[in-house]
Amino acid sequence: MSTVGVRHHQLFIDGAQIDAPDHYEIISPATEQLVCTVAKGTVAHADAAVAAARRAFEEGSWSRKPPHERSQVMRAIADRLGEDSEQLCELEIAANGATLRQAMAFLVGYAAPHFLYFAEQAASYPFESTVATAAYPTASSNRIHRDPIGVCAAIVPWNFPLLLGIWKIGPALAAGNSIVVKTDEKTPLSLLRLAEIAHECGLPKGVLNVVTGDGPEVGAHLASHPDVDKVAFTGSTAVGREIMRLASGTVKRISLELGGKAPAILLDDADLDIAVDGALFGCMLYSGQICESGTRLLVPDALHDEVVERLVARAATIRLGDPADFDTDMGPVVSARQRDRVLGYLDAARRDGARVALGGGAPDGAQFERGFWIEPTILTDVTNDMTVAREEIFGPVLCVLRYSSLEEAVAIANDTPYGLTAGIWSSDPERAIEVAERLRAGTVWINNWHQIDPALPFGGCKQSGLGRELGQGALDEYTEPRHVHVDLTTRLDRHIFDALLSEPPAGR
């Protein structure tokens, strides 16, 4: 494919744009046309980025800057993210196929307010606190200092590159760390632009570095790098296990946000108008390419046929088309590989006995001859032991499962290796909350989905990950507590040194 006249993007290391001998071609998922090229980072580039981050951290241009001054710089960055949202939407849509409405609402729309939240945390976080202690065995003053960890590495997926990058960059910077971000090779554009914006707003060079590169090479190198103090990763559970293994060599801190297979329990008292639209929103948003999507809809036997009929009728109205068209509801999946992966799961579902109530393949029509398209798909007659109910498909595929009792519904919901999110559809809030308390998931939504607030923690249990992003404790993941003890006892005979030294001091 010719690259003549196509814009080329470089890496961002130590405050400067750096090119590489090789490059990636960024392809539009909607048209398969060449969008641009991006420098292909290597292990050497990762090493240079880590070295720049370490030097910046040790020099203290950011790590020793007073928190309120860090907050001011970060507020300026947040303002610019809001001002440049139109350009950032274009970059996201071109690379990952999200629709304009979804990019405006979520992928880019969340970026500025979430970054602003961390800017505010930089000013309000308790970096120093006094802890009251008992006078026994001796009176003392005790302070807790929360220090920046050092050099952090963030490995970011392709589906929400800017937003999920900010979930790692924001708390890292607020705490005073330096950071190296490894983008997915398919969607690096918005994070490269963020790095430029940050330095235009006064972030010292070396504090934020962005490299591309293949995951097994560059990502793995960062995870095992002896000069990286923490790794934050969002991606598949399989890769998360490898990140844990690689990080263990230097016992570095890690936080992992991994896969999900979220259950949505529709109770027998649910408002079906809300539940049907909400279930489709929970599963089909961004072509189902969200780790926290509600992909298993659990429906009581008595309502099953009516709910499926309603789901099919509503899902049939979802408009596929040009992601840049404001009227488009759903765009393509991100790549040919992802399209083929989803189609493979649909073939397996048919073999296992599931019934395709809607969709089930690529859409017809001339506009879909190029690009990576999957129809909105509803599967029924799904049982929880089927592959499509066990594994993360990452496509617009909703699996409908029956249940005969609430106890059975809860058991099915929890019968998964994942525990990222779950949901309940009910007209009785108290009853729904009682069910929510029985679900093993990091977030449980009642009568909604995809509601992410930067002030509330997000993350999973079981094989959905370790640690939490967002929330009031987000900076805890990026700081090390240091306890400073000052003994206030002034007389030797009041100390407890005689636990070792039984003889009185000479001359006393």
Active site residues: 257
Residue 391: φ, ψ to 5°: -110, 155
The secondary structure of residue 318, as a DSSP letter, is P
Length of the chain: 508
Count the helices and strands in the chain (H runs, E runs).
Answer: 15, 23
Q: Which residues pair with 422 in a beta bridge?
A: 444
Report which secondary-structure segment, H or E, holds 241.
helix 237-248
Distant-in-sequence, close-in-space partners of 358: CB < 8 Å, separation ≥ 6: 311, 312, 315, 316, 375, 376, 377, 378
Environment class of residue 273 by beta-carbon count within 10 Å: exposed (0-12), middle (13-18) or buried (19+)?
exposed
Can you tell me whether residue 177 is helix, strand or coil?
A: coil
User: Phi-psi bin for 317: left (phi > 0), alpha (psi -120 to 50), beta?
Assistant: alpha
Spatial contact of 363 and 373, defined as CB atoms under 8 Å apart:
yes
Distant-in-sequence, close-in-space partners of 107: CB < 8 Å, separation ≥ 6: 89, 92, 96, 98, 160, 162, 163, 286
* Angle of helix 304-315 versus helix 272-284 axis, rounded to 10: 60
Residue 178: φ, ψ to 5°: -105, 155
